Structure 1
Amino acid sequence: MKIGVVALDGCWDSGVTSVLDVLRTADAARTRVDATIPALECMFVAPTDEPVRTAGGLLIPAGRLIDDCVAAADLDLLLVPALAAQNPATVVDFLMRQDVRGVRTALRRWADGGGALAAACTSTFVLAEAGLLDQRQATTTWWLSDLFRHRYPAVRLDMSRMVVSDAGVVTAGAAFAHIDLALGIVAQVSPRLAAETAGALLIEERPTPSTGAMSDYLEDHDQLTSDFEAWARAHLHSPVGVTDAALALGVTRRTLERRVRDRLKTSPYAFIRSLRAERAEHLRVTTAMPTADIARQVGYQDATTVRRLRGGRQQFPR
């Protein structure tokens, strides 16, 4: 998965760094879960080719131009970290800046092309101002919820959850919800990898302010979904299906269907299919194995099915 982190002058320092830390930790943990999980690659995206200065004065090196990324359509997700606003008036001032206007236009083109989006805290206003949250469920930071409701009545605001995903757009709450946002993105790729990443970042079990930021993700973690993923990855070489998985996990097919749809926003069948495509692509690029042999390694009898899988691989979010 290729993720473009949209850097804007005055962005919240920890909003950028926490996202990068979580995603890089997840990428390093991939081999402990399953080496065939696609790499998580982050890059900076910006409205100009000049370095970006964070609210705390850090310089983010010049990244790819956002217009070039939208035109190339070679990323899986554009993620906008928060802007460091101190009051509602500052948020509105941010939205009126020329560079932010340009980013809004680019994000609309990106979304029109089917591109996935994510934002946290005050950057949810950037998506909403672009009309990208209209008629969608979304969340924002608690202290700006009244302004958000007043300014964007077409958005179905949900302040009961830290992270909300709806039709290709993921939003998260307050500033430190960037951690939950990043873990939610990882969970769309692999629930097991998200759990492994959260475990690696939680240095100790004693509740502290530093570990509390991840409590929302951990409370929402679904063990059945992780067990289903583990079972599916272990049986990709066999022509097994959803009924086999439910039987092995000791639940009804209906329960498995419901839990996977609630957590991954897709069906168990589609998730298994995406895992087969992922494994087949990994074998294609890392071995000299003929396509027919790859097909058998991922539970299919003929190469034609693998070619169709490759052409129809799903991208985040499912």
Structure 2
Amino acid sequence: MHIGVVALPGCWDSGLTTVLDVLRTANAARRQVDREIPAITAVTVAPGRDPVPTAGGLLVPVARTLDDCVATTDLDLLLVPALAAESPATMVDALMRTEVRALRTALLDWSADGRELAAACTGTFVLAEAGLLDDRQATTSWWLWDLFRRRYPRVGLDVSRMVVRDGSVATAGAAFAHIDLAMSLVARVSPQLAHVTATALLIDERPAGSVTSVTGHLAENDQLVNDFESWVRSHLQQDFAVVDAALALGTTRRTLERRVRERLNTTPYGLVRRLRAERAGHLRRTTDLTMTDIARLVGYRNASSLRALLRAELESPDGA
């Protein structure tokens, strides 16, 4: 997964840097889980090429312009962190800034063909202002929910959840929700990798309030789903049924199906297909093996079955 993280002048420092830190930590942690997990990269994106000053005075180097992102297809998702705002009035003022208007236009162009978007905290206002949350479920920062509801009546506002995903758009709540949003993106690539990443980031176990406030992902972690992913990765070359994995993990197929559905919004079979496609893609990029050889290494009898899998996964990115 390749993600563009938008940096606008006056953006909230910790929102931007937290997302980058989580995604880069996850990418580095892949070797602890499975080196063949797809890379998770994050690049900074801005309207122009000059370094962007944050609200706290940091200068953020820019890797891509918004125009670059719209014109190319190598990024999978654009993520808008929080804009610095101290009150509802300053939030409205921020939406009127030239660079925010430019971002709204770029987001509309970006999303025209269904490409994915995400935003956290006050960054959700940018998506809503562009009409990209109309008729969708979304969330926002708790202290601005009343303004959000009045300004965007077509959005189904849900302030009961930290991260809300509706189709190709994900939104997250207040400032520390940047962590939960980034972790949710990692979990889509690999629940097991998300667990390893969360553990690494929360290695300091002192009972500080700041640590307690950002453990949302760990609270939702499901060890059975992690173990299922690990078991599948170690048996990809074999022809197995989901019930085989359930028995090996000491659970029932029904329980496994329920837990995977709750955690990943897909079926165990959908996850198996995704992992087979992921391994096959890695082998195609990094070896000279034929499609027939690769098919056998990921549990398929012939190349035509593997090609059918890869076509299906392209049409359904979540592998459901």
The two structures have a TM-score, normalised by structure 2, of: 0.94
Query: Residue type of the partner of 1:6?
Result: V
1:10 aligns with 2:10: yes
Shift of 1:44: 1.1
Shift of 1:316: 6.1
1:188, 1:316 within 8 Å by CA — same for their partners in 2?
A: no
Residue number in structure 1 paired with 2:87? 87
2:266, 2:318 within 8 Å by CA — same for their partners in 1?
A: no
1:88, 1:147 within 8 Å by CA — same for their partners in 2?
A: yes
CA distance in 1, matches of 2:85, 2:130: 18
2:121, 2:177 within 8 Å by CA — same for their partners in 1?
A: yes
CA distance in 1, matches of 2:6, 2:32: 29
Matches within 5 A, 1:159-198: 159-198=159-198
CA distance in 2, matches of 1:196, 1:92: 39
The two structures have a TM-score, normalised by structure 1, of: 0.94
Q: Percent identity?
A: 64
CA distance in 1, matches of 2:63, 2:79: 14
Shift of 1:295: 0.7
Residue number in structure 2 paired with 1:117? 117
CA distance in 2, matches of 1:73, 1:99: 23
CA distance in 1, matches of 2:261, 2:98: 40
Shift of 1:78: 0.6
Matches within 5 A, 1:1-318: 1-314=1-314
Shift of 1:40: 0.8
Shift of 1:67: 2.3
2:88, 2:144 within 8 Å by CA — same for their partners in 1?
A: yes
Secondary structure at the residue paired with 2:102?
helix
2:5, 2:45 within 8 Å by CA — same for their partners in 1?
A: yes
Query: Residue type of the partner of 2:238?
Result: S
CA distance in 1, matches of 2:312, 2:31: 25
1:116, 1:316 within 8 Å by CA — same for their partners in 2?
A: no
1:177, 1:213 within 8 Å by CA — same for their partners in 2?
A: no
2:121, 2:141 within 8 Å by CA — same for their partners in 1?
A: yes
Shift of 1:30: 0.1
1:116, 1:317 within 8 Å by CA — same for their partners in 2?
A: no
Shift of 1:248: 2.8
Counterparts in 2 of 1:316 and 1:56: CA distance versus 1, 3 Å: farther
Shift of 1:312: 4.2
Shift of 1:31: 0.7
CA distance in 2, matches of 1:317, 1:238: 23
1:191, 1:226 within 8 Å by CA — same for their partners in 2?
A: yes
CA distance in 1, matches of 2:71, 2:93: 28
CA distance in 1, matches of 2:164, 2:103: 22
CA distance in 1, matches of 2:89, 2:177: 22
Gaps of 5+ in 1: none
Shift of 1:261: 2.2
How far does the alpha carbon of each residue in 1:257-289 deviate from its partner, in whole angstroms, 9 at most, with x for none?
232222212222222111101101112222222
Query: Residue type of the partner of 1:155?
Result: V
How far does the alpha carbon of each residue in 1:67-95 deviate from its partner, in whole angstroms, 9 at most, with x for none?
22122122111111101111111111111
Counterparts in 2 of 1:148 and 1:270: CA distance versus 1, 3 Å: same
Shift of 1:201: 0.8
How far does the alpha carbon of each residue in 1:168-188 deviate from its partner, in whole angstroms, 9 at most, with x for none?
211111111111111111011
1:4, 1:44 within 8 Å by CA — same for their partners in 2?
A: yes
2:11, 2:82 within 8 Å by CA — same for their partners in 1?
A: yes
Shift of 1:317: 5.7
Shift of 1:155: 1.4
